[in-house]
Amino acid sequence: MKKIKLTKIRELDNAETHNNIKEKEYRIVRMVELPKVGECFMLRFVSNVNGTPICGHWFRTSTVMEIISKSTFMTRNSIYKIRVLKDPEVEIGDKQ
């Protein structure tokens, strides 16, 4: 699962659910798969609002309505931007 920064760019005027995430707030999450039109975008939290660490909770957007660009998509309620984050390399065992 890729680690990403998910930022809410804008809440739509005709949003069905308002202010679950405020505009410009972000979450650090693990992406299960790329957003797909017609489906909710499923994510696993690494951190909550603007970087406060939490782990293990699941989050989903409302239904994805449009892929706007390589890094931006629109749901029934909002427009989000994705930025892939680099994970630090993990070493297992000692090098000898």
CA dist., res. 96 & res. 94, Å (int): 6
Angstrom distance (rounded) from CA 23 to CA 2: 23
Give percent above pLDDT 70 in the chain. Answer: 77
Q: Is residue 89 part of a domain?
A: no
Whether pLDDT at 49 is above 70:
no
Of the chain, the percentage scoring pLDDT greater than 90 comes to 40
Give a yes or no: residue 92 inside a domain.
Answer: no
User: What is the CB neighbour count within 10 angstroms for residue 29?
Assistant: 25
Residue 95 domain flag: no
In a domain, residue 8? The reply is yes
Q: Record the pTM.
A: 0.79
Q: Could you tell me which residue, 53 or 29, shows the higher pLDDT? A: 29
Q: Is 37 part of a structural domain of the chain?
A: yes
Structural domain contains residue 53: yes
In tens, the pLDDT along 9-43 reads 999 988 887 666 777 888 888 888 999 999 999 98
Range of the domain at 9: 2-84
Question: In the structure encoding, which two tokens stand for residue 33, read together?
Answer: 């798969």
Query: What is the number of domains present in the chain?
Result: 1
Q: Is residue 91 part of a domain?
A: no
